[in-house]
Structure 1
């Protein structure tokens, strides 16, 4: 064997051996930017926590994975109910989405909109952290979307420009802006109100002009949007439904990441989700009433329902609850009810 042939064979063996070794993730195979859809941006807790996720990923990937938050559902032309479908198709890379907005495509997510299912934050955690939460993530995962973590927008409280609301009768005839969900429409109809479905982008001008009388949203949204300046001077704390958020990635996009980077995305989503819960729950409890006191200082009347007053609303919406329990799936709702009953 000549020296030249021996050298060639040795070189070929070295190349083959190198090809068999694990190769590092090639940063250039990743997109320059991953688009993250949200409905609300900063200073709303929703947008702040989405940005926290993006910042954590950029920092821990040392700039290899760059995520940019696009608020206002602008990636789907402002129609927040189309966000989930766009993510399934890979049009949107990632999202921090509301269970309400995704419920048209994932009917089981209507679980969180069942009136008065969750009496407190511990109930939300019991559902999302238990069997019902795992079932929902499995369902979402079967639809080409990879759910990574739960977050929170908060309990949705009621405000209006006309009068204090303490009983279902007080809602009679009030035009209330609601999200584009049949369940929300039926709930407010059962209470005697006149629900009007519109996007959040259209809601604030409608409140300002008096086209609608009121709205329902978490207190963090009420404060950040300065709803007291558009006539929303009557605020009722009734905690009728909560609005969990889901940090998720389009399955076609998820599959392009290495296992190591998938782990990074999941871990940072969990951190950002915990942060969103902290933001949504700060200042609104009996032991930490700072946000509520600030709202009252703006000249807003804050109504705190007694248990008996809240039960009147619950009784008035019971037929809606029972109807939608069957639609969502009784076993799933039973699992959620069991978790709530067993919460600490």
Structure 2
């Protein structure tokens, strides 16, 4: 009896192994991973780390190719999420900002001055709120696996030091395609101009727009001082978490073992990517800021009174979007942030 049992177990194991091999034979030769920026940026580097980890850990069964510049959707960042759901894109490391038009809950990270610290950001994504946001993405037809980070977005421009809302009046500021950003910069007296990142760079260089807001890692990698960006205001008005995702049909086509490998690789890559995004900003002396100053750019920090003036100016926007996102969710985020102070 023992011999028969062992034989049956061996047969079952062999059958499962053959099924895994058959599934693996149906894998694509290449999986398309969408990115807004290339590997010179921490964001793009996070995608590269993920792809390399997956290729190595699956012994080449899953081969991922990077497509920076959201080239799979002709550079339109706001179409990326829909393209993942539809299968035009297999995988992505995407911005919560760019996906917020399709997943309204992700607008929570764009709420002006909800948190100005990394501790506050971490408290949100590592809590029940983070799970709620992943559930919201899942319900919209895309599978989220891990968090990354683009970073706190700082304001740069070619005209003047900005220390109060009045300094922004009439200034053309490039923003991403999110209504919340349009509302925020309109409330500050600026003229928000929506355009893709690919279009933004020549627009800055030509003076078609005066300024933009992005993490400092983007400023450095894009050499924005050569795009006539002479002044930076450090205001930490919002952070931009990234999310590692996979198309659901692609996910279903992999063996359970490979799914676990891809998910763990996303988690590992996300942790490394967050470290890269914060490097030079959390160390004493902020080496990244010093590097920017050494390139000839003026960097200013807001006083508590100046920061309060900006918060007051955008409070109506905050109140409006709190209702749209969901008061309960926003209040949970506010409590999570408050717990870190």
**TM-score calculated relative to the size of structure 2:** 0.94
- Unaligned residue ranges in structure 2 (runs of 5+): 1-6
Provide the residue aligned with 1:335 in structure 2. Answer: 332
Matched, 1:91 2:88: yes
Provide the residue aligned with 1:28 in structure 2. Answer: 25
> 1:271 aligned to 265, 268, 271, which one?
268
Deviation at 1:335, TM superposition (A): 1.2
247-256 or 23-32: which moved more?
23-32
| Contact 1:175-1:195 within 8 A present in 2 as well | yes
Give me the whole-angstrom Cα distance separating, in 1, the residues matched to 2:11 and 2:192. 68
Give me the whole-angstrom Cα distance separating, in 2, the residues matched to 1:214 and 1:64. 44
Structure 2 SS opposite 1:176: strand
> 1:127 aligned to 117, 124, 127, which one?
124
Give me the whole-angstrom Cα distance separating, in 1, the residues matched to 2:63 and 2:213. 34
Provide the residue aligned with 1:165 in structure 2. Answer: 162
1:1-344 alignment runs, 5 A limit = 17=11, 21-24=15-18, 25-26=20-21, 27-285=24-282, 287-343=284-340
- Which of the pair has more CA radius of gyration? 1
| Contact 1:207-1:230 within 8 A present in 2 as well | yes
Give me the whole-angstrom Cα distance separating, in 1, the residues matched to 2:98 and 2:248. 19
Give me the whole-angstrom Cα distance separating, in 2, the residues matched to 1:238 and 1:167. 11
Structure 2 SS opposite 1:52: helix
Q: Let me know the Cα RMSD of the aligned residues.
A: 1.6
Structure 1: 4+ residue segments shifted above 4 A: 16-20
Give me the whole-angstrom Cα distance separating, in 1, the residues matched to 2:52 and 2:339. 36
Give me the whole-angstrom Cα distance separating, in 2, the residues matched to 1:137 and 1:258. 22
Q: How many residues align?
A: 331
- Could you list the per-position Cα deviations for residues 48-71 of structure 1 after superposition, in whole angstroms to 9, with x for gaps in the alignment? 110000000001111111011100
- Unaligned residue ranges in structure 1 (runs of 5+): 1-12
Q: Mark the CA change 1:66 to 1:20 in structure 2 (over 3 Å): closer, same or farther.
A: closer
Give me the whole-angstrom Cα distance separating, in 2, the residues matched to 1:288 and 1:280. 16
| Contact 1:144-1:252 within 8 A present in 2 as well | no
